[in-house]
Amino acid sequence: MQYDAVVIGAGHNGLASAIHLAKAGWKVAVFESASQPGGAVKTVEATLPGFRHDLGAMNLSLFAGSAFFREFEADLLAHGLEFVPAAQTFSSVFPDGRWLGVDLDIERTVELIGRFSSADAKQWRQMVAEFGNDAPHIFALLGTPMPSWALVRVLYKAWREKGRTWCFDTLRLILSSPREFLEENFESEQVKSLMACWGMHLDFAPDVAGGALFPYLESMANQSFGMVLGKGGADTIVRAMASLLESMGGEIHLATEVTKVKVEANIATGVRLADGRIIDAKRAVVANLAPQVLFGRLIPYTALPEGFSQHMRSFKYGPGTMMIHLALTELPEWQASNSLKSFAYVHVAPFLSDMAQAYNEAIDGLLPGSPVIVVGQPTAIDPGRAPDGKHILWLQVRVLPAIIKGDAAGAILATDWAGAKEGYADRVVEKLSGYAPNLPGAILRRAVYSPSDLERENPNLVGGDNLAGSHHLRQNFLFRPALGWSRYRMPIERLYMVGASTWPGAGTGAGSGQLLGKMLSQR
C-alpha cells in the first residue's frame, strides 16, 4: 500500500497535520496502535455505564483559541464538534476555610480578591486591562515556528508597537520563576497560590525558572475569555477531526501498531506494521510520538547522527501524574463555600510552600506526603456526562515519581505503582474530604490510573508524564525537542515529529500539527 504521507499516532496533533495534507490533495493514512484515536484526549466510561470521564485533558480552551480551529471551524462544527463554556473557571481552597476563584465577571473576581488584599484587587484589574493589548503579541510568539522569519516579524512588530521596555519586560517574565513573578506583583499568599497552581499543571514548581509565563497566561485568559470544555467529553475535538479527515479521503487505521519506520539511504520511505505489512510513504512520515518512542523503538539510535542521538536519549520527562476518576451521587459539598460547586477547577494545593515541597519530594523519588490535587468538576458545566442527578469528578494528582523510592509520609511501603496506587488514591480522597466531608460517602465507583498505567495506556507519557516532556527552559522554545531540531524536521529525510514533545509543547492547541501541516502542504 502506498500513500503520500503516513502519520504515526492519532493524537490531535497527528490528526491536525493529516487534515492539512489531505486538504492539499495528499493521500494520507493515520496508523494508531490504540483502539480509539485521541492520544491523551480521550473520553471513556472508566467507572460505570453512562459516566463519561476525560482520561487526560479536560480543558479545551487552547483548542478553541487555536489557529487550527480558526482555519477549520466551520468544518469541525459540521462534523459534530461542540463546546460548553464555563464562566466560573478556576479556584483554590485554603486550610482556614477560605477560598478564592476567578469568574468571567471581573467585578466578582476583584471583589473576591479584595477580601484578601485591596492592593492585589487593584493590581489584578490593571493586569487584566493590560493583557488585552499584550496578548496578541505573546500568543503570536507561542504560535510561530522556531526559528523562522515569521518569528522575526512577530518580534519586530512587538518592538515597534509595544516598545523596547515591554519587550525586555516580557523576556524577563519568560525567564522568571512563578514565585519571582508573583511576589513582584501581589502581596496576598492566597492570590499568589491561586495563580501558581497553573505552573503545577506543567512541571513548574514555584521556584523553577521559566515557569511564570504559564500561570500569567492561564490566569489572564480565564479572566478575559472564560474556559471551554467539550460537550459530552474532550473527545469531541478528536471525533470531529477524525470525521473531517475521513470526509477528505484520509484514512485512520485503529488498533494497528507501527513497529518500524523504513529508512533507505537516510530517507524515510514508509513503515512496517505489527502484522508484517509494509506501508509506503512517497513524501513524508509524520510521527506523533515522544522522542524516546520514535527513536530507539521504531528507528535505532545507530541510524542517527551521534549528536542528535544523544539529544534524543537525554530528552527529559517531567514528574509523573495520577488520574483518579470518580462516579458520584452528588458533587462535593465544599466547606469553604457552596459557590465552589460551579467552578470547572478547584485546586487543592494549597500554598506555594506546599507545591514546592510536593515537587521536591517527587523529584527525590518519594510519594508526596500531601498531594497537589487538581479537582475537575465537568458535570457542573456539562451535566450530560453522567446519568440524571449523578456526577463525575476528574482528579489530577500532580508531581509524582515515576519510580518510587519511598513515601514521604512513611505510610505506604510498596515501591511499585501496582502496589502503591490504591493506597495513594486513598490519601488523595482523605485530603479532599477535609475540604468536602461528603465526598467519601458520595463515591459510587472510582478508577485509578497511576503513572505506570498512563504510560501503558499511552507510551508517549513516559514515566507517567502527561506532558510528554519537561517544559523547563533547557527544553522549551528553540530547545524543544533539541536545539536545531525545533521545526519538526528530523535528520532522516522526509521524517517529521509532532506532538507535545515538540514546540509549542503540551496542551490541546494542536500547535505542532498545525505548523507542520501548513509547512508541508505549501511545498
Q: Is residue 365 part of a domain?
A: no
Do 448 and 421 contact (CB within 8 A), yes or no? Answer: yes
Asked, for residue 483, whether it belongs to a domain, the answer is yes
Task: Give the C-alpha separation, 20 to 516, whole Å.
Answer: 9
pLDDT digits (tens, 9 = 90+) for 12-70: 999 999 999 999 999 999 999 999 999 999 999 999 999 999 999 999 999 999 999 99
**Helix/strand/coil percentages in the chain, nearest 5:** 40, 20, 35
Residue 350 is assigned to a structural domain of this protein: no
Pick from 347, 344, 338: which is nearest to 382 by CA? 344
Instruction: Identify whether residues 216 and 237 lie together within a single domain.
Output: no
Identify whether 430 is part of a domain: no
H/E stretch holding 448 reads: strand 443-449
Nearest to 27 by CA among 56, 2, 59, 62: 2
In this structure, how many other beta carbons lie within 10 angstroms of the beta carbon of residue 435?
A: 23
Alpha helices in 364-416 (DSSP H): 378-381
Residues 166 and 243 in one domain: no
Q: Check pLDDT > 90 for residue 348.
A: yes
Which of 202, 225, 248 delimits the end of a domain? 225
Query: Which whole number is the average pLDDT over 219-246?
Result: 98
C-alpha to C-alpha distance for 362 and 316, rounded to whole angstroms = 15
- 204 shares its domain with 281: no
CATH number at residue 10: 3.50.50.60
Taking a C-beta distance cutoff of 8 angstroms, is the pair 180, 199 a contact? Answer: no
Whether residues 132 and 198 share a domain: the answer is: yes
- Say if residue 151 is in the same domain as residue 203: yes
Count Cβ neighbours within 10 Å for each residue of 476-494 and write b for 16 or more, e otherwise: bbebbbbeebbbbbbebeb
Measured distance CA(368)–CA(353) in Å, rounded: 13
Do residues 125 and 219 both lie within one domain? yes
Angstrom distances, CA of residue 257 to CA of 268, 271, 459, 507: 17, 10, 12, 24
Q: Are residues 205 and 261 in the same domain?
A: no
Distance CA 83, CA 336 (A): 29
* Inside any domain, residue 253: yes
- Domain stops at, among 225, 248, 265: 225
Torsion of CA 114, 119, 124, 129, to 10 degrees: 120
Would 321 be classed as within a structural domain?
A: no
Q: Are residues 208 and 122 in the same domain?
A: yes
Statement to judge: residues 221 and 238 lie in one domain: no
Rg for the chain (alpha carbons), in Å?
22
Which of 225, 245, 278 is at the close of a domain? 225
> How far, rounded to the nearest angstrom, does the alpha carbon of residue 148 sit from its chain's CA centroid?
25
Say whether 48 sits in a helix, a strand or coil. Answer: coil
- Asked if residue 48 lies in contact with residue 444, where contact means CB atoms within 8 angstroms, the answer is yes
User: 401 in a domain, yes or no?
Assistant: no
Contacts of 433 (CB under 8 A, 6+ apart): 439, 440
Asked if residue 56 lies in contact with residue 394, where contact means CB atoms within 8 angstroms, the answer is no
pLDDT 10s digits, 264-282: 999 999 999 999 999 999 9
69 is a domain residue: yes
Task: Determine the Cα–Cα distance for residues 259 and 240; give it in Å rounded to an integer.
Answer: 28
Instruction: Name 160's Cβ contacts closer than 8 Å, sequence gap at least 6.
Output: none
Residue 167's SS3 state is: helix
Give the 3-state secondary structure of residue 466: coil
Confidence of residue 1 (pLDDT cuts 50, 70, 90): confident
Q: Which segments of 271-351 does DSSP mark as H helices, in order?
A: 291-294, 306-313
> Which pairing describes strands 2-8 and 278-287: parallel, antiparallel, or unpaired?
parallel
pLDDT tens across 466-505, in order? 999 999 999 999 999 999 999 999 999 999 999 999 999 9
Question: Exposure pattern of 65-99 as b/e (b: 16+ CB <10 Å)?
Answer: bbbbbebbeebbeebebebbebbbbbbbbbeeeeb
Amino acid type, 190: Q
What mean pLDDT, rounded, does the chain reach? 97
Do both 109 and 218 map to the same domain? yes
The reply to whether 111 and 192 lie within a common domain is yes
Q: What is the pLDDT of residue 339?
A: 98
The Cα 334–Cα 30 span in angstroms is 45
| 120 shares its domain with 213 | yes
Domain that holds residue 477: 2-44+59-83+233-315+469-521
- pLDDT tier at 179, thresholds 50, 70, 90: very high
93-112 confidence digits (pLDDT tens): 999 999 999 999 999 999 99
Cβ neighbors of 342 (< 8 A, separation 6 or more) are 88, 380
Distances (CA, A) of 312 to 211, 299, 451, 486: 23, 12, 22, 12
For the segment 209-236, the average pLDDT, to the nearest whole number, is 98
Structural domain total, the chain: 2
Check residue 523 and give its pLDDT.
Answer: 77
The rounded distance, in Å, linking the Cα atoms of 300 and 397 is 34
pLDDT tens across 437-448, in order?
999 999 999 999
Region of 255 (left: φ > 0; alpha: ψ -120 to 50; beta: rest) is left
